[in-house]
Amino acid sequence: MELTGAVPALTAAYEVIRRPLGEILPRLSEVLSEAVPHLAAAELSTHCAHSPFKTAGDPEITGRLSTADLAPLLAAGTPGRPWQGTLDLAGAERPVLAVTSHATPRGAVLLLVRDTAATPVDENVTALVQALWDIVTSHFERLAAEAMPGALARSRTAAGTRARVIAELGEAYSAALTGVLGVLRSRTLDDAAARATATDLAVSALVELRAEAERDQQIAEEPADQAFARLAESLRPLVRYSPVRLELGAPDSVRTLAADVAHTARAVVRAVLMKALEQEAVTRVHVCWQINDDELRATVRDDGPGTLTPEALAPGRVRDRLDVFKGRLDVDAVPGWGTTVSATIPLRVSQDPAPDPLIALGERELEVLARLALGHRNRAIAQELHISESTVKFHVAKILTKLGVESRGAAAALFHAVA
């Protein structure tokens, strides 16, 4: 697709962000292929708690890429200044274009792996690529911050499963490598030089394994103090030009929070604060987080008339967001003294969660089911997803089979029960 000019560039952005999340990177790669010919594309996007690393393109290259290849680029990249150079990737020195964006608070990097004979990309083109990546990552951040409960539930399930798998793999490989080291260090072996070399290799592998787990955790989680600092930064503009004094109580905890928990806690506090500010005679609002081993408790306390009700918070989907995590909302209003609203989110994940019946569905099937659950007919679903009505019918049939139900209504009920 030609990117020269404002209209083509905006059209390209629209073509990318209208896609389902799983199809955004492949479509972005297609859109950029004419302006920046490349063999493969990869992204490391910290908005996503369960799949921050994605690839598209030549499987011979993408199959050998990992977060370890992109993490240094994300850490060293400068937003607004795409970097061109060569990297040792997939067994060869390859020219690349790396584009970093801070449109999401924790950053995202796009890597385009080019052919070895590729010439440098013109600055005007790299500027367009930067702008397009900023738009895409802004879209990511909005989806993460404003995700519907169903999407958050699937994210929570996937993130929990992923964390457990990482922990199990880490333990298994650590035990295996420790055993290898024990054997190689044994004095019963004759070849000391071979033993020393093998020991060095095994130690390096063990260190890399642990480093990979740490990198993964840093992307999937967010330190509590940083998460609250981001909340504070977003709240201050709400009272900047009002007589209300905002008091902030940061959590006295160094633990980390799952990214989707932090997103939800911030969204709930913002929604509650905005309702509190709508009241008359409010002069002070206190916002604080308290965290222990079991839960995060976010409190918003005002000195208003004390008439705020739980029903007043319904339009902001506060309860829906909390329901995803089996959280609760408590409202304590005392007429003439003010209102205290507390949102509690459990932090412990059950070791034996009930199986998610939606896990068998593919990305497109989930999109169809979500719209079916809203009561949309096949024609409307087809128009929203830009597919044919017959394709929708095919997906609906597959959904009913995979869920083991006989009707659209039963599938919708199951979706609502899970989401």
Q: How far is CA 216 from the centre of its chain?
A: 12
**Tell me, what's the pLDDT at 182?**
61
pLDDT higher than 50, residue 352: no
Start-end of H helices in 278-407: 318-324, 363-373, 378-385, 389-403
The C-alpha atoms of residue 361 and residue 162 are separated, in whole angstroms, by 17
DSSP symbols for 258-285: EHHHHHHHHHHHHHHHHHHHTSTT--EE
Which residues make Cβ contacts (< 8 Å) with residue 139, sequence separation at least 6? 17
Q: What is the pLDDT of residues 288-333, one digit of tens each?
A: 999 998 899 999 999 999 988 888 876 556 777 787 788 899 999 9
Alpha-carbon distance of 264 to 250, in angstroms, equals: 16
Average pLDDT over residues 399-414: 86
Handedness of CA 266, 268, 273, 274 (dihedral sign): positive
Which position has the token pair 């004390």?
A: 306
Per-residue pLDDT for 397 more than 70? yes
Q: What is the pLDDT of residue 143?
A: 64
Least confident of 254-263, 345-354, 359-368: 345-354
The pairing of strands 338-346 and 295-302 is: antiparallel
CB 337 within 8 A of CB 300: no
Distance CA(338)–CA(388), nearest Å, equals 54
- pLDDT over 90 for what percent of the chain? 24
Q: State the pLDDT at residue 75.
A: 84
- CA gap 372, 399 in Å, rounded: 11
**pLDDT tens profile 146-204:** 555 555 555 555 555 555 556 555 655 665 566 666 656 666 666 776 677 667 667 66
